[in-house]
Amino acid sequence: MCGITGFVQWSGDLTQNSQTLVKMTETLTPRGPDAYGTWISGPCAFGHRRLSVIDPENGAQPMLVYDDEDLYTIVYNGELYNAAELKRELLKRGHHFRTNCDTEVLLVSYMEWGPACIDKFNGIFAFAIWDSVREQVFMARDRLGVKPFFYSQTGGLLVFGSEPKALLQHPKVESVVDAEGLAEIFIIGPARTPGQGVYRDIKELRAGHAMIFSRKGLNIYSYWKLDSHQHEEDTETTAAQLRELLQDTLERQLVSDVPVCTLLSGGLDSSALTALAVQYYNRTGQGRMDTYSVDYVGNDKHFKSHAFQPGADAPWIRRMALELGTNHHYIEFDTPELIESLSNSTLTRDLPGMADVDGSLYLFCREIKKGATVAVSGEAADEIFGGYPWFHREEMLNSGTFPWAVASEMRASLLSPEIREWTRPLEYLADRYDEAVREVPKLRGENGKQAQMRIMSYLNITRFMPTLLDRKDRMSMGVGLEVRVPYCDHRLVQYVWNIPWEMKMTGGREKGILRKALEGVLPDDVLYRKKSPYPKTHNPDFLAAVKKQILDILDDPTSPILPLVNQEKIREIAVSPEASSNLPWFGQLMSGPQLFAYLAQVNNWLKTYHISIK
């Protein structure tokens, strides 16, 4: 994986802005620690940081390919998992290749098929291509939005990059946040509305979208979306098809010229990928698979089971590591490290995020990077197969809002009266929810429970899953680790989308059809284990530390968050034992401690990024 950035400007001499390009590119060094490149020609300035995974000796970017006098230039972040097939087809069509890297395959695909090339790609990607023939830049993002792409456009100038920090180095992009951006932070966050960059001048190219920037202006369009149709196959056939798809997807994603590992939590999703990966490694003679897990000092003493986190992972991790014979690495963090990580993870994301859930992943990936460059993760299976509690609890299904954000009244009460009146957070949330529901590709004749679950699935795939994919991308790439997410293969997602809810619940269990597909791959006790989310710390020292942190911020008259929040309401929550420890307000993992940590992240972000509120 890599970091990409650049700008396109139809007037002026861009060579005078070379230092701006250098600064923009340098901000992405953690994403691509292995190589650096910039290119300025005509209206284009492209920058690239490379993390070498395939063909490390070649594939430097920006990559230039000439077709007679015509020039095509690319900066690209991602992996094409069907590069070998595409290359064979392009060779038959008379093209020649200088490297073995997928970057060249992607660029030559564009030369052959133009913008329609993206329909042929299986992978995760964000890229920009300068086309001298058409005098345009073609940009696209993968179908599920695994790889990020931010942009800012003003008249004849387009600035883009993998992360907001790169764009903010350009003098025409300011760190200003308006009422809509504040609503995103305080009522939607740490999620984001698709396309929202939070910063007033920055937007995000939505998943499954492409755009063309020419002298005529900017044209953005959707090239892929979920398609609703009747599922014709029976349960046995569906399970077999799922297993075949998952195995094919995983084996494509194990291809690498650098060490690969898997993240193993002992749950269904990661255990399945690890088991299939071990089978593949054994079959191809690639040796012993490395696996990694994360836990926290004191969790063995402090963990308490509840509806969203029914059991500890540690015994199941040991069970699967022994069962599969992996070379397992146990990573553990203590409270001081988690507190320190709150600042690092905010800088890595360029926004306040999932508090210690972000920070611990950042630390986890940093440790993994010492032994591997590529990791395989079970991210997204719950959104696709319906694993979260809100798929199964009537009060959450019928909440009339995003089920991971049901504490909206409490969150709105944290704002100062002036900011609440300006941002109108509850109205903003309702509008964003209504927009999402209107987007759902409905199936003719479908109603009742099945229609309700189609809406719920769509909300999860397009609104909640991107939050976790953002987190996974930023925290991993922040330390130069590439994480691959096989459950996000678009073929798999599209297939599962149309499986009837009753079949998804085969055996009366959440993700029942996935469990059936994996029979014989996993031991039964693991296969039918109750879902448990990504682990977080349960140490009371963490609550004490973040509570002190936010109270210190409130006591400091220079804290930039003070005019934005209802200080007395936050203090009230802090002194309430029940509210401060058990106050679910976002998703499964974010309760009282994460609320204090999130507010501290907001303050740190406002201060560090010199945010202007306008």
Q: Which amino acid is at 41?
A: S
Q: In the prediction, which pLDDT does 437 show?
A: 98
Do 203 and 152 touch, CB atoms closer than 8 A? yes
Do 511 and 504 touch, CB atoms closer than 8 A? yes
Q: Which amino acid is at 286?
A: Q
Cα of 365 vs its chain's centroid, Å: 14
Q: Is 2 a catalytic residue?
A: yes
For residue 206 the two structure tokens come to: 């939505």
By CB atoms closer than 10 A (0-12, 13-18, 19+), residue 331 is middle
Nearest Cα residue to 250 out of 280, 216, 221: 280
Q: In the prediction, which pLDDT does 89 show?
A: 98
Residues with Cβ within 8 Å of 17's Cβ and at least 6 positions away in sequence, in order, are 7, 40, 45
Given 2, 44, 101, 365, the catalytic residue: 2
Q: In the prediction, which pLDDT does 301 show?
A: 64
Nearest Cα residue to 346 out of 459, 201, 198, 202: 198
Largest CA distance in the chain: 72
By CB atoms closer than 10 A (0-12, 13-18, 19+), residue 535 is buried
Low-confidence ranges of the chain (pLDDT < 50): 306-308
Nearest Cα residue to 114 out of 133, 100, 98: 133
Dihedral angle over CA of 473, 474, 476, 479, nearest 10: 150
Neighbours of 585 (CB within 10 A): 18
**Where does 416-566 show beta strands of DSSP type E?**
482-484
Q: CA-CA distance, 335 to 297, in Å (whole number)?
A: 8
Do 253 and 262 touch, CB atoms closer than 8 A? no
Do 598 and 590 touch, CB atoms closer than 8 A? yes
Q: The tokens 């504040």 sit on which residue?
A: 182
Q: The tokens 């306040």 sit on which residue?
A: 352
- CA-based Rg of the chain, rounded to a whole angstrom? 24
Q: The tokens 């029979």 sit on which residue?
A: 519
